[in-house]
Structure 1
Amino acid sequence: MLTHLQQSEDLPPTFTIAPLSRDHAAAIFFNWSISEHWNPTAQGDDLNEVYFPLDAGAFFAGMTISPTTGETKIVSILSGVRYDAEQAWVGFYVVDPAQRGRGYGLKTFQHVLNKHLGNDSARTSIGLDGVMAQVSNYRKSGFTNVAWQNERRHGDLVQLVEVQEAALADKIRSGGVSGLRDLAAVDGAQLAAMEVQYSGLKRPEFVRRWVQFHSGVQETKHRFGTAVLAEDGKVLGFGCIRPAQTSYRIGPIYASSPEVAKQILVKMAIDVVETEKRHPMGVPLEVDIDMPNTNKHAVELFDGLGWKDTFPSLRMWKGPVPEHDVNGVFGITTLEVG
């Protein structure tokens, strides 16, 4: 006859899913992103300052509970950030490598879709940027509509401003490029409208927080935001750059033309390189940007710089693909939240 202890040891652990608190979510999601080599933003500041405040109940963990000891262990994570009644985004999908193949990830995924986001594809567009190895699984979960394929282009910031685009960099430094502005000084409504136009994402509160995140911290955090304005004050394009673990990350670059996109790119590179000289942070002066390969102008821009594709992903939607003009997207904002 089995003892009670032996019977308990034979029982599988209980599995439960719950949202995490802000501090817990920031630490877990940041550290797991590092373990997956996703090159997240330095110190996970974007999680703390932008992502979590948008939807405080959006960061979930799947946990096992031991029937013998009661020990709780996180085995899966996933975020489901809702922007409004019509749009949401799924990201940070990770399962503990030692726990894969047991269905924990799928249960977490289904919980976030069905319980948190509502999963009403008739009226809600739920997006994600899926790694290619998981595309077939996402399709099985209803993510059957594709907007575009991303390519992660990798470059060198010093080479960009001192060799590849040295003439443009000198012109920018001397004030010869009109319309360049610090992003914090630009009308936020125009920025949000530009994101809707080009990517289809309707999230003015996110844009406001993203601009704030990249403003007023240039010397201490090495985050920068740049815009190009026409003479009448219309925004022609804008971009942001921030330090990550192994490089800088750019996102987004929205621009009305390749020339505007290049001006934004070079201006942000100048800001980073010169600030690093004054106040070294130690992050390698390299850069990653995820761009849609259906924008031929973006492809030509980064091909011309010799920036290679190092990581593909697919922008997929469950429900209608929001109307957008991909030709203005030279870099998406972030894989984690769209």
Structure 2
Amino acid sequence: MNQEYTIRTMTRDEVNLAIDWAAQEGWNPGLEDAHCYYQADPQGFLIGLLNDEPVAVISAVKYGSSFGFIGFYIVKPEYRGQGLGLKIWQAAMARLDGCNIGLDGVVEQQENYKKSGFNFAYSNRRYQGISHRLACRGAADLVALDSLPSEMIKQFLMPFFPVQRNDFWHAWLGQNNAFSVGVIVSGELQGAGVIRQCQEGYKIAPLFAKNASQAVAIIGALSAKVADDSAVYLDVPTCNSEALALVEKLNMTAVFDTARMYTKETPSVGIEKTFGVTSFEIG
């Protein structure tokens, strides 16, 4: 029987399939990730079909003309080792041709990504804690992020990503089953964090702050908003020594590492103020 393999752009509903497969891989996506990620680039999700059966997915989200991010690179287990993943990988890379491309890859795949032109930048490490052990209520200077002017939030977020992505942030900050807080000092927004419900527990993502004390206050306030005994996850760039010291002080447990890699230069994205990255899937 002839095997016809086709690769095309996903429909919005098919992005849910990528989320489901990511959950099966243990990546623990958020409940509304499909909607939020789709806002970043509706054309940025590819699916591979073998005789019309979905067998491979990947995202190749393009931000403007200069930057892109690859994620959700998954082949259905029973179809691995047949070259189907390589073909959809090549399609994703072609879509982002000319861009500086980033990804968060599992450590054991670093050498394969290097062969495709990616260079190691730094590691991100997922940590896990328990909500009631992290919770702290009533921290000074904290406000609900949605109470602030949208332009203030937009200007604050701008230095933490290579290009502006307003549609994504609008969806991310407005999702259900999520809470966000900001740190205001003398009328200036100096820190912000979002906690969202995931298939298992909650993730704080992102967490941006001027210093570790602000980051701790944000973690405490966000953790206080979810049920006691909930798992709380935080993805920390290991090149930020303050962030590493913080999670150790909070007795959070390391879960796994990813390798942040780029095809060109490592973007300047305020890593010294990044205590929790936004997404392993779309940057």
Q: What TM-score range do you get, normalising by the shorter chain?
A: over 0.9
Matches within 5 A, 1:203-218: 203-213=165-175, 217=176
Matches within 5 A, 1:1-338: 9=1, 11=2, 13-26=3-16, 28-42=17-31, 45-48=32-35, 50-65=36-51, 72-114=52-94, 116-117=95-96, 119-120=97-98, 124-144=99-119, 146-161=120-135, 169-170=136-137, 172=138, 177-213=139-175, 217=176, 221=177, 223-231=178-186, 233-273=187-227, 285-338=230-283
Deviations 1:106-160 (A, max 9, x none): 110110111x22x11xxx221111111211111111112x332101011011122
Distance 1:337 1:241 in 2: 17
State the identity as a percent.
30
Distance 1:228 1:295 in 2: 20
Residues 91 and 184 of structure 1: CA distance in aligned 2, closer, same or farther (over 3 Å): same
2:117 match: secondary structure: coil
Residues 136 and 332 of structure 1: CA distance in aligned 2, closer, same or farther (over 3 Å): same
Q: From the two aligned structures, give the one with the greater strand fraction.
A: 2
Residues 92 and 292 of structure 1: CA distance in aligned 2, closer, same or farther (over 3 Å): same
Q: CA deviation at 1:100?
A: 0.8
For the Cα contact (< 8 Å) 1:151–1:311, is it kept in 2? Answer: yes
- Counterpart residue identity of residue 299, structure 1: L
User: What is the count of residue pairs matched by the alignment?
Assistant: 283
Q: Which residue of 2 aligns with 1:165?
A: none
Distance 1:106 1:192 in 2: 37
1:78 match: secondary structure: strand
Unaligned runs of 5+ in 2: none
Distance 1:112 1:36 in 2: 20
Q: Which runs of 4+ in 1 moved over 6 A?
A: none
1:206 match: secondary structure: helix
For the Cα contact (< 8 Å) 2:194–2:205, is it kept in 1? Answer: yes
Q: CA deviation at 1:199?
A: 4.7
TM-score (norm 1): 0.79
For the Cα contact (< 8 Å) 2:128–2:253, is it kept in 1? Answer: yes
For the Cα contact (< 8 Å) 1:224–1:268, is it kept in 2? Answer: yes
- Counterpart residue identity of residue 22, structure 2: S
Q: Which residue of 2 aligns with 1:4?
A: none
Q: CA deviation at 1:187?
A: 3.4
Q: Which moved more, 1:326-335 or 1:53-62?
A: 53-62
Q: From the two aligned structures, give the one with the greater helix fraction.
A: 1
- Counterpart residue identity of residue 242, structure 2: H
For the Cα contact (< 8 Å) 1:229–1:237, is it kept in 2? Answer: yes
Deviations 1:66-114 (A, max 9, x none): xxxxxx2111100111121111111111011111111111110110111
Residues 306 and 321 of structure 1: CA distance in aligned 2, closer, same or farther (over 3 Å): same
Distance 2:155 2:236 in 1: 20
- Counterpart residue identity of residue 19, structure 1: T
For the Cα contact (< 8 Å) 1:150–1:293, is it kept in 2? Answer: yes
Q: Which residue of 2 aligns with 1:280?
A: none
Distance 1:200 1:330 in 2: 17
Larger radius of gyration: 1
For the Cα contact (< 8 Å) 2:193–2:208, is it kept in 1? Answer: yes
- Counterpart residue identity of residue 255, structure 1: A
